[in-house]
Structures are given as C-alpha cells and as structure tokens.
Amino acid sequence: MKFIAAFMLLCVSLGAEADLFPQGNATTGQKLFAQLRCDSCHMNMYGGDGGAIFTRANRKVHNAPQLLAQIGVCGGNVDQEFSTQEKENIAAYLNRYYNFK
C-alpha cells in the first residue's frame, strides 16, 4: 500500500515538473546545485542542508517564474550566468521543495 502511494506521488510530481519546466532535468539540476555548492550560503543561514530556505514561512519564491528568476540571481553568487536549460534543470530539482504545479 505504501509502495503504491509512493509510486502515485512520484507520477504526480514527475508530471508537474514536465509541465512547468518542460526542458528541466531534476537529476542534472541536482548535480549542478551540488557542484556549485549552491547550498553553502543557505546552510550558513538556515542550518542543516540549507533546504529550509526554500520552505521558510516568509520565502521569496511563490511560483515557477519567480523560481527561475531567483536561480538566475543566485547564479551571480557563484559567478554563473545560467542558460535557460540550466535554470530549468535546477528549478526542476528545487521543485521538490516548492511543489509548484
């Protein structure tokens, strides 16, 4: 039963990613995020793995365009000018926190 629920959840979340970030690849985005140490500042600010910055009550990002924009802004923090593809990859990954549909 648990497995079926998890599987359905996976299908739903994969579907959502596909719609919002049509070119986004969450696995590639996760690698890039780790490689660039995107979480370094967020960890200093919020502790743990830094993921709390994406789920905090007063978070900045409330929809998909804002997420893509913030990824662009934060790219500057790691001296990167992301392509649309790279932004979509990272957005597809970070949508595990935001769950935009």
Residues that bind ligand HEC (CB under 6 A): 33, 36, 38, 40-42, 53-54, 59-61, 67, 70-71, 74-75, 77-78, 90, 94
Which residues does 99 contact at the CB level (< 8 Å), separation at least 6?
Answer: 13, 16
Shortest gap between Cβ of 72 and ligand HEC (angstroms)? 9
Listed residue (87, 41, 34) closest to 64, CA to CA: 87
Rounded CA-CA distance 62/67 in Å is 7
Residue number with CB closer to ligand HEC (16 or 75): 75
What is the closest distance, in whole angstroms, from the C-beta atom of residue 5 to ligand HEC in the complex? 27
| Maximum C-alpha span of the chain | 46
Contact 60, 66 (CB under 8 A): yes
At its nearest, how many Å lie between ligand HEC and the CB of residue 65?
12
Nearer to ligand HEC, 13 or 53 (CB): 53
